[in-house]
Amino acid sequence: MRIQRYHLRFVPVLLLAAGLMGCGMMPAEGPATDEAAAEAPHPHDDDEILVLDPPADYLRHLSDLGLEIIDINDLPGMGKNLYHLRIKDGAHPFDARDRHRGRFPDVVVDAHHHYEHHAAKVDKTYTARKASNWQDEKKACGKGLKVGVVDGVVDVKHKAFKGTMITYRSFHLKGQKLAKSGHGTAVTAVIAGRGAWGGLLPGVQIVAANVFHKGKKDKPVGSAKSIVRAIDWMVQMKVPVTNFSIGGGKNALIAAAVDHAASKGMIMIASSGNGGPFSKKKSYPGAYPQVIAITAVDRFDRSARFATSGEYIDFAAPGVDIWTAVPGGGKAMSGTSFAAPIVTAFAAAARERLGLKAADGVRNYLKKHARDRGKPGRDRYTGWGIVQLPPVC
């Protein structure tokens, strides 16, 4: 893929805003194992699996495993290869994965899971800067910082990004069309939107990766393969802090990519999901221990009605009625998707100011600036509390 670099001047562009939720096909038949049954709610491709860096003699066993190669991608940041395989014998992906693990227990393999945006549409308006009580904008705030965004397509010519340095690359799958969605633009503007768009760090450099393609009924679908490649690219680009306003099921290859990125010092922030307070499903990558998971509250510090609860949640931030940029203009948006980039901006500023080099250091710093709600200590609804940092510039 060719990397495009933009140092932007205002060029008016009108694009159609579209639906924000990703979706995917459910398997036609139920999985055969208890582990698979627990995973069934998470969508995935019916006839594909992903394998990370198999051994040299691996290829001669593909036929025995009922598999064939779709393609192979180099992951320079991880120093590995990503194999995209088709299941030829009709096995369910979870059964094919388990059969694979039986033959190659040390090889990382999983289904080709789908991921979604964590957003919902609303009408009221207030910006991320106002929600964070960072009222006085300085255009240079964030200058010298680099922040990654793994999400959807970003309208790099939107006037919210006039003068912003954005390096953008799309990892949608070969032969698939880009999903028309305003989600990536909206999330990026929470971090870097200038002027009336109210981003927290308008001077920051953005490294943006699109991992969504157009699925059934034109709904955006995030691919596990695309996410692994995007994380690898963030490592190559030496991005210190990366935002993931996306979520889905547990995936061994994404887990390996997250672990590698964390080992390189990358601080990762992710939305916790919009499953509601009674959902028992964890949302990944937010639920991985190396990632800081963020849920949403409204302007009155009440938990958002859509916000997923869980023991993996670290912090809460405003995520209801956030005014932000979308292709063709602006819109008030709700979702844990819009709480996460607020904390990503906080984390980037804290890392620069205090020299924090790992997620645990950022967690400890954010704890000092979190308003606990209810009983002291961590809880499943707001984690360690609602984060509120003083303005950094």
Which is higher by pLDDT, 96 or 271? 271
**Residue-wise DSSP of 23-52:** --PPPSS--SSHHHHHHTTS-EEEEEEEEE
Q: What is the pLDDT of residue 279?
A: 85
Residue 125's pLDDT band, with cuts at 50, 70 and 90, is low
Banded pLDDT at 41 (limits 50, 70, 90)? low
Q: What is the percent of the chain where pLDDT is above 70? A: 87
pLDDT at position 141, please? Answer: 86
21-25, 133-137, 281-285, 360-364: least confident range: 21-25
State how far the alpha carbon of 72 is from the alpha carbons of 44, 113, 303, 381, in Å: 19, 17, 43, 41
CA–CA dist 43, 190 (Å, integer)? 28
Residue bearing the bigger pLDDT, 336 or 46: 336
Mean pLDDT of the chain: 85
- Please list, in sequence order, all residues whose beta carbon lies within 8 angstroms of the beta carbon of residue 100, skipping any fewer than 6 positions away: 49, 51, 65, 67, 107, 109
Residue predicted with more confidence, 33 or 230: 230
User: Higher-confidence residue: 357 or 109?
Assistant: 109
- Judged against a pLDDT cut of 60, whether residue 247 lies above it is answered with yes
Q: Is the Cβ–Cβ distance between 327 and 15 less than 8 Å?
A: yes
- Show the domains of the chain with their CATH numbers: 34-113 (3.30.70), 116-387 (3.40.50.200)
- What percentage of the chain carries pLDDT values higher than 90? 59
The pTM for the full model equals 0.78
What are the tokens at 348? 């980037």
* Residue position matching structure tokens 């208890």: 34
φ, ψ at 147 (rounded to 5°) = -130, 135
